[in-house]
Amino acid sequence: MHAEAVCAVRGLGRMAAWRAHAYAAPQELRLDAARVPPLRAPSDVRVRVHQTSLNPLDVAMTGGYGSRVLNTLRALEGGEGVEFPLVPGRDFVGEVAEAGPGARLRPGSRVWGVVPPHRPGAHADYVVLDQRWVGPAPAALGAAAGGALFAALSASAALRAAGVWGAAGRGARVLLLGLGGVGHAALQLLTYHGAQVVVGSAGEQSETARALGAVAALDRHAADYPQALELAGPYDAIIDCAGLGGDEAGARRWRFKRFVTLTTPLLRETDARGLVAGGVVAAAQLAAQCLSAASGAWSGAGSGAWSGAGSAPACPPHVRWAYFVPRADDIELLRRLAERGEFTVAVERVFPWRAARAAYERAARGRARGKLLLDFTDDGPGGA
């Protein structure tokens, strides 16, 4: 549908929404005049979206990634498991337009929020979701708040899996691989929790890494990068935000306790094999990654390999997988940090809502140096 036709019915019980009607390339998304979603529960809120971000998951989901697991969750929650039309968009900032009688947030409140992947997303004028996943938006972030929460809550889950959340993070030596959206958030959270963070990323990001609290920044393009990674250890945890996956844990001669990655084969295997068989195959891959990590640490580092400090090991070096988890207390923590200037969001570009196809083309190329946002308050033209 042409954007002009969509604009003609916006506000007449209809809204602009970018939707997939089949799994295909993200450029196949259609701009629809969709029905404004109703509240489904007393604790629901309907938010008028101002800005929303494009995450790698949005691009992947338009191609069918994770469909078996997500459709199961839809069926369990809604009874019918409606798959299409699929609205992408995991996080947003906007204004509460309507609130259920059990919601604490009231109409007119400026909020930010995050949408679980099995729910209709925020690449639309309105999004409906449970108030647990919404909170007062930090004024300090402005429009950038629309691209904050999915990456930051994924980072929070990774820190918890690594055992460096809260008091456990104080003084921990952590290697952070990658400084994209999740890595940018993870570094700030690690700094807040008192960790000593070594960052491995592109050389041009070294200054940013140090400004955000890293004690050292290693250039992944440098010839001596593998040796630098080893010498900067041992590490209490290695957190992979660069998409390397758990196989990387056993690929180097480095010393660590835990290797945590957000890049896992679970959804890919369940897509290919079904929930049960895919889950079994994924579990076997995790076990193999843990065995490789432990074997590599022993062969490469000697008796101090287990703990990183030479003390008796609690358990051998191992791999953990982390996944996005929406938590109301984490959303509130991020708000407080943002208002104090301790949590920021890097934005590469803001696209008018009509230019979503151009935004998706940019997202599909990867390697963005900051978040890509869609602005549903900007009625500028579409295209690149």
Asked if 169 and 239 touch (Cβ cutoff 8 Å), the reply is no
- Residue 328 inside a domain? The answer is no
The two tokens of residue 225 are 């990068």
122-176 pLDDT per residue, tens? 999 999 999 999 999 999 999 999 999 999 999 999 999 999 999 999 999 999 9
Q: End of a domain among 321, 336, 354?
A: 321
Q: Looking at the structure, do residues 127 and 156 belong to the same domain, yes or no?
A: no
Claim to verify: residue 114 and residue 196 sit in the same structural domain: no
Q: Domain count of the chain?
A: 2
Query: For residue 314, what pLDDT is reported?
Result: 60
Beta strands in the chain (DSSP E): 14-19, 30-35, 44-54, 91-99, 110-114, 126-130, 134-136, 173-177, 196-201, 216-219, 235-240, 256-261, 318-321, 347-352, 371-375
Same domain, 127 and 176: no
Q: Using CA atoms, how far apart are residues 220 and 40, in angstroms rounded to an integer?
A: 48
For residue 175, the cross-strand partners are 198, 238
**By C-alpha distance, which of 30, 4, 60, 11 is closest to 123?**
30
Could you give the C-alpha distances from 243 to 56, 65, 239, 250, 260, in angstroms and in order?
11, 16, 10, 15, 11
Question: Rounded to whole angstroms, how far apart are CA atoms 194 and 173?
Answer: 10
182 and 312 belong to one structural domain: yes
Residue 270 lies in a domain: yes
204 is a domain residue: yes
Q: Is residue 309 part of a domain?
A: yes
Regarding whether 236 and 221 lie in a shared domain, the answer is yes
Residue 123 maps to which CATH number?
A: 3.90.180.10
- pLDDT > 70? residue 311: no
Residue 329 lies in a domain: no
* 336 within some domain: no
Domain region containing 50: 3-148+345-375
Tell me the pLDDT tens digit for each residue of 332-371: 999 999 999 999 999 999 999 999 999 999 998 887 888 9
In a domain, 327, yes or no: no
Looking at the structure, tell me whether residues 113 and 43 fall in a common domain: yes
Band (2; pLDDT cuts 50, 70, 90) = low
240: domain CATH number is 3.40.50.720
Residues 32-91 pLDDT 10s: 999 999 999 999 999 999 999 999 999 999 999 999 999 999 888 875 556 889 999 999
Write down the residue that tokens 């049960």 correspond to: 276
- Are the beta carbons of 33 and 6 closer than 8 angstroms? yes
- Per the CB < 8 A criterion, the answer to whether 112 and 134 are in contact is yes
- Rounded CA-CA distance 320/146 in Å is 29
Dihedral sign from CA coordinates of 198, 199, 204, 207: negative
Q: Is residue 308 part of a domain?
A: yes
